[in-house]
Amino acid sequence: MQEVPQELAALRQLIPTNSTIMMDVQWHWTNLWWAARKRNWPLAQYYFNESRGHIQQLVRKNPTIRNQVDGTDVDLKGIFDGIDTSSLAMVKASIEMKEITVFDRNYKLMLESCYACHKSVGRPYIRPQVPTAQVQAIVNMDTTAAWPQERAHFL
């Protein structure tokens, strides 16, 4: 029976850290901004879904988290449930509406929700902002891109 704790310890080593998960959220959330700038709404929806899915992964992993300042337990699931039905839902709706002005407002509101969560867990120094630079260059965000195209056969 001593093998089970060793196996669990080995499996725990495979679980991404909170910071790794949040780096994925940051990457997708930044790409969401740039996809919307190009009015590439299907791609924006993809990045929204990826961001939300990674946040859900973090909440499943840690439904409560210790506040780094005062040592209290913070109900991360409760915070996410509130954000998921408010500012996050508003971003989703603005993508579906394909309305850039509404998207911009709701995106910024979501960043404020992110910051409120960061403060609640004792990390007020993690202050999100509207992206100032695209984080990747391999995904073409232009909806009129002509290359690459599908081929009838594969190389």
End-to-end CA, the chain: 52
Three-state SS string over 8-58 comes to HHHHHCCCCCHHHHHHHHHHHHHHHHHHHHCCCHHHHHHHHHHHHHHHHHH
Q: Return the CATH architecture of domain 14-120.
A: Up-down Bundle (1.20)
Domain boundaries defined on the chain: 14-120
**Which two tokens mark 60?**
């499943």
Q: What is the rounded CA–CA span in Å between residue 82 and residue 29?
A: 19
Strands (E), the chain: 64-66, 73-75
Q: Which long-range contacts (CB under 8 A, 24 or more apart) does 100-103 make?
A: 100/36, 100/37, 100/39, 103/36, 103/44
Q: Are 79 and 59 in contact (CB under 8 A)?
A: no
pLDDT of residue 119: 96
pLDDT of residue 153: 61
What residues in the chain have per-residue pLDDT under 70? 1-2, 151-155
**Which two tokens mark 145?**
């891109």
pLDDT of residue 135: 85
**Which two tokens mark 113?**
């929700």
pLDDT of residue 152: 62
Considering the entire predicted model, what is its pTM?
0.89
C-alpha torsion sign, points 123, 125, 129, 134: negative
pLDDT of residue 11: 81
pLDDT of residue 117: 97
